[in-house]
Structure 1
């Protein structure tokens, strides 16, 4: 008769069924991998975002002309100077116009297309076409719009050619007095496709039977949008609003190319905060302290808008 000897399991070892690891062991392995994977990301984030942001805030309280010059701490002098500067005042107002009016126009256009495209055949193809301007470099878009709105007798741009073809007078669209509104319309046209794509992705997840029930009840397209589409995509609308605010406060290329074609910089009353920072950094005698102060104002401005939007658009989640 042979006796079988069983080897006792090692201390702390808890084998699972069939030799598989237990959930506790799996969680322990994941915890071991957490920091090795997260640490490189934190290092890069700190080096390329946190550190420059802190440096910008510190330099905004000093007078600094760049490499070779020692920053001179002067408190809030830079801030008092920029708020008294005509260029900053124009840039601040224009940036607010782009954020608010541009946002309203972009989302109204996006919602209109969303209502139309939802029941349209081939809406995915139309969505891709509308998204196309977002993959074109803003500088190229600015050059394109410069050609479209060009005012040159006997060699007009497309917009003036169409006006003259119906017997109307050509318009100086790129004149300094009207360029802000022309750029605003161009931004709305170029940006709407991106937000149409986001909103349509949210609409695609809404169960079709909700719209079918509304149609049976005799609901109009506006009633369907107000009572079904908007409530069930509200969380996505909030995120899209935040994205718009962040993008709008950085508007630079379109204004620079369309308003300042052939010159060093656009006229001062067409500036945005981005152009003001550029001018103080690379125009004439560098004033990096002033540029940093403006950058801090941009950070504060976008933070205020984002917090306000999140509070304004806060709604209870609707399960469907």
Structure 2
């Protein structure tokens, strides 16, 4: 037995000398059947299309004719395109303004709902807009705020007020912002509540015994102990805000037309350039260049946000 033990020890030492134990090698082999399919799907549906878009962005192409190499012409033209600049600004406004509103409202609702007896039901009601098609919700949103819609009818009955043109060109983007907040708040209430609910109650009890006010408990207990969940939610929103399309497309547009360019965001700009929203039509190279620029900008924002929100993990 002593020889067997010595032999086993020598084998383990040889494994460690090679940089990996036998157990670690077997565990890595076990990972492969699960990891490889996901990597292949990611390569085919994410990396591949991104690389193709990058290649197309250096060409003039209508989707049918042979590609014509243009180098950086599409990128330089974008910098002089006022509609692209508007779409960029609108995208950043959605990211910052709607994002701040979503997180403030979500946190307030989380603090209120978690104290209710029927919090599961209330949370489901808040989450409901997120599971319904954005197209359907855009129709509902338009019905509520149209000239003879629900809001103007209520204002007329209560105050005799003249109908407010909520959906005219001047107010349309503001209504899109408000609708985006309405659509997204339920999801972030659910995410933040999941982080807050895992905090042990005795942290709050100890803070209350120490004389901490409700605001102090929020600042020194709730926020630090749920910060990892909040940071993940913030990064998720940053990525999601770049891809908002259906609600703006259906709410701001008509049956045959896109919304006015003044309310376009990056996703609508790519769609409009690709499928004939502007003249000339079907500029796939130009649209791909705008998508690549937006991708680079938001990748920079995500990396910066991760660094900004990084905190040492708190174990409890």
Give the structure-1-normalised TM-score. 0.87
Question: Which residue matches 1:316?
Answer: 312
1:159 and 2:155 aligned:
no
Match 1:169 to one of 154, 162, 166: 162
Is there any run of 5+ residues in structure 2 with no aligned partner, and where? 9-20
- Among residues 274, 278, 289, which one is paired with 1:281 in the alignment? 274
Partner residue, 2:129: 133
Gaps of 5+ in 1: 1-8, 14-23
Q: Which has the higher helix share?
A: 2
Match status 1:104 vs 2:100: yes
Tell me the secondary structure at the aligned position of residue 62 of structure 2.
coil
Deviates more, 1:161-170 or 1:197-206: 161-170
1:185 and 2:178 are equivalent in the alignment: yes
Q: Give how far 1:297 is off.
A: 1.5
1-structure distance, mates of 2:87, 2:66: 28
* Contact 1:115 1:225 (C-alpha < 8 Å) held by counterparts: no
Alignment pair present for 1:54 and 2:51: yes
Which has more radius of gyration? 1
Q: CA deviation at 1:27?
A: 5.4
Q: TM-score, normalised by structure 2?
A: 0.88
Match of 2:297 among 297, 301, 304: 301
Shift of 1:142: 0.6
Aligned-pair distance for 1:29? 4.6
**1:15-42 CA-partner distances (Å, limit 9, x unpaired):** xxxxxxxxx8765554444434433332
What is the aligned partner in structure 1 of residue 18 from structure 2?
A: none
- Residue of structure 2 in register with 1:260 after alignment: 253
* 2:165 alignment partner, SS class: coil
8 Å CA contact 1:174, 1:258 repeated in 2: no
What displacement does 1:269 show? 0.6
Match of 1:206 in 2: 199
Quote the Cα distance in structure 1 between the aligned partners of 2:76 and 2:25. 55
Aligned-residue CA RMSD (Å): 2.0
Which residue of structure 2 lines up, in the alignment, with residue 20 of structure 1?
none
1:235 paired residue number: 228
Aligned length: 296
